Chain A
C-alpha cells in the first residue's frame, strides 16, 4: 500500500515489485530447467498465511506447487485433547487458560471450549507471561493448554519457571508441545510422499538454528531452505529450493540470515531443556511421531496436568468427511476436501485447519487458490 509519509520501511522494500521481478525471472528460468512438477512444502502456518496474503502462489510457474505442511499448532492437536480439556472443565474445579485459536475447535461431540467463556472458567491468554498474574489471582488450579512449536515453547517454559520461583504451585501445564524436525522426518519417510523440498520455518529456526535439520542432507533427504516471511524472503527461499533441485543438491540452507543464526538461540533452548524432556507425541493427521513432543521433567512432573487430573491418553478420531489429516500431510489441497466451504467455513468450522488463523483451509478460504 502506498504510504502518505515519505519514509520507506524495510517491510515496504521487502514487498517491492521491482525487486521481486528479477527473482521471479530466475524462478521461471530455474523451474523451466527442472522441467517437471516440483512440490515444495512450507512447513510453517505463518508461511502459509504470508504466501496467500501476498498472492505469491499466483506468481509461480505452473510446475512449481506449494503445499502447506503440519505447521499450525492448533491443527496438529488431536480432537481428543479438546475432549480432555472439556473434561477438566466438567470434572474438576480447574480454570483453563488457552491461546484464543483453540477455543473454537470442536471436540469429538462438536462442543468447544468457547462455550465456557462466559463463566470465567476459560481464559484467553495472548502471551504466556499472563499466566503468572493469572495463577496468583485464583486459589484453585490453573491449567494452561500448552500447545505450540519451538517458537512458543521457550516462552511457556520461562513463564512456568517464573511461577514456580514465585511459589505458585497451582499452575499446571497440559502439554501437547510439538517439535518440527521429527515431523519433517516422518513426512520424508512416508511411502507415498509427494514432496521435493521444504521451505523451513523462520521463527522456529530462530530458536533451533540449522543443525537439527541435518538429516535432510542424508540419503532420502530433500533440499531445505530456512525462509523469512515477507514476499521477497519467500521468493528468495523458493528460488533457493528450486536451484538445489535443478543442481541435484539437498542441503540445509539459511536464506533468512537477518534473523536466524546457525546456532539458533541457545539460551532459549536451555530454558526449554531445564523443564522439558522429549517424548513421543500424537499428531493429528499423522499419528504418533517418535520423540516429537515435550513433557515436563523431573521435579516439574507434578505440574503435568495429564497425570494430576488423570486425563485419558490421546487418540485420533476425525469428524466424518473431514480431510484435515490429508491436508496436513500435503496430500490434499483444501479445496479437495468435500466439506471445504460447504459445511466447513471459518464461521462454523469442522476441522482445525479451518479454525486456526494459521490453518491451511482458513487461509485458502480467505485468500482463495491461485488467482490468475
Chain B
C-alpha cells in the first residue's frame, strides 16, 4: 500500500480499502502469531489473577519530542497495569483516523507501537480502525486496552498506607506536559524538553519484590504528582501526607518554563514517573532498587505519611512554610495524552 497518500473515508468503510489498510499497512508492522486471522475476536490464555485496563489517547500534536501517540498508547496503558502490580501481556488497539491523515504518518505511529510493544514485551492482538470525515476528528485518536497477569498475591492499594510510611518518586517531573505544550504552541523556552514517556514495568517489578512493604504505586500522569499524592490519602480518615517541596526533582527548564507560564510543575502530566508508598524500613532498599534502573536514576524520598491531617496533603515549601497541596483545579492543559 502506498504511504504517500492520505486516509479516505473509504478506508474505514469495511470494504476493499479497509482490508487493504489492514493487510498492507497494519499487519506487516503489528501482526504476530496471536493476531487473529481477521476474525472478530482473538483468544489467549493467562493463568491466575488477570488485570485489565483501557485508556484513550488524543494527544495534540500526535508527534512530539520524545515520542508520539503510538509510544504513548503502549507505554501509557502498560504503565497503568504495571503500577497495579501486573505484568503487561496483551494489548488491543482501536484507531480513529480523520479523513486526510497522511498514510506515512500512520505508518510512523504503527512502527512506534511496534517498537514500544517489543520493549514492553506485550503483543497487540486485536484492533479496529474507523475513519471520521475531515474536520470531525483530531488527526488520529487511539484507544488501547491492556491485559496483564498479577506479579503475585499481594494487592497494592491506598488502603495499605499506614502512618510512618515513606513516599518516593521515581524521577524528575513536568517534562511530558511541557514538551507537548511547547510542540503545540511553539514555545521557545521549553523547546529543548523531551517527553519522559517510558515503560515503568521494570521499576514496578523491582518494587514489587519488597512484598507487603510496598503499599501503593501510581503513575503521575494527568493532574501530575499533586493528583496522585491527593488520591493516595483522599479517603483516609486517619492519615495525611507531608511532602517536602525541596525534595521534588524539577529540571531547570521545567521550573523556568512553568514559572513563566504560571503552571505548577506538580500539576503537570508525566508519562514515565511513578510515586510509591513503602514501609519506613523498606525506603532505602526501595530507592536503591529504583536507582539501579535507567528510568529510576533520580529516585528519591519526597515525604512521609503522617498520623494527622487526615485526607490532606501538606507541602512544606522551599522557604519552610506549610500549606495544603490541593488537587489541581480548573482546566488543565488539554489533550496532553
Name A residues whose Cβ lies closer than 8 Å to a Cβ of B. Answer: 1-5, 7, 9, 11-12, 15-17, 20-21, 24, 52-59, 231-232, 235, 346-347, 365-368, 370-372
Contact = CB atoms under 8 A, between A and B. Distances in A.
Nearest to A363: B323
B259 A11 contact: yes
B252 A56 contact: no
Nearest to A23: B319
Most buried by A among B314, B315, B318, B321: B321
A2 B252 contact: no
Contact of B250 (A1, A231, A371): A1
Contacts of A231: 317-319, 321
A5 to B, nearest CB: 3
Given A11-B259, A16-B318, A347 B329 contact: yes
Given A2-B246, A17-B318, A55-B315, A371 B323 contact: yes
Contacts of B318: 1, 12, 15-17, 54, 231
13 contacts: A1-B250, A2-B249, A3-B250, A3-B252, A4-B252, A17-B319, A20-B319, A20-B320, A54-B318, A59-B320, A366-B326, A368-B312, A371-B309
A206 to B, nearest CB: 18
B324 A368 contact: yes
Contacts of B111: none
Contacts of B309: 371
A372 B322 contact: yes
A21 B265 CA distance: 26
A54 B319 contact: yes
Given A55-B321, A368-B324, 9 more contacts: A1-B318, A17-B319, A53-B317, A55-B317, A56-B319, A56-B321, A58-B323, A346-B330, A365-B326
B245 interface: yes
Nearest to A17: B320
B255 interface: yes
B87 to A, nearest CB: 31
A55 B259 CA distance: 18
Contacts of B323: 52-55, 58, 367-368, 371
B142 interface: no
By DSSP majority rule, is chain B's interface helix, strand, loop, or mixed?
A: mixed
Contacts of A3: 250-252, 255
Given A2-B250, A3-B252, A4-B251, A58 B321 contact: yes
Contacts, number: 96
A203 B315 CA distance: 27
A24 B315 CA distance: 19
B206 interface: no
Nearest to A230: B319
A24 B321 CA distance: 11
B247 interface: yes
Interface in B238-294: 245-253, 255-256, 259, 265
Contacts of B224: none
Nearest to A367: B323
B172 interface: yes
Given A55-B321, A56-B319, A5 B251 contact: yes
A233 to B, nearest CB: 11
Interface string B173-200: 0000000000000000000000000000
Nearest to B174: A1
A346 B326 CA distance: 12
A58 B246 contact: no
Nearest to A346: B329
B300 to A, nearest CB: 9
B262 to A, nearest CB: 9
A59 B319 CA distance: 9
Most buried by B among A5, A55, A368: A55
Nearest to B326: A366
Interface in B199-217: none
Contacts of A57: 321
Nearest to B316: A55
Contacts of B250: 1-4
A165 B324 CA distance: 49
Contacts of B312: 368
Contacts of A232: 319
Nearest to A235: B319
B48 to A, nearest CB: 40
Contact of A1 (B255, B298, B321, B322): B255
A2 B225 CA distance: 15
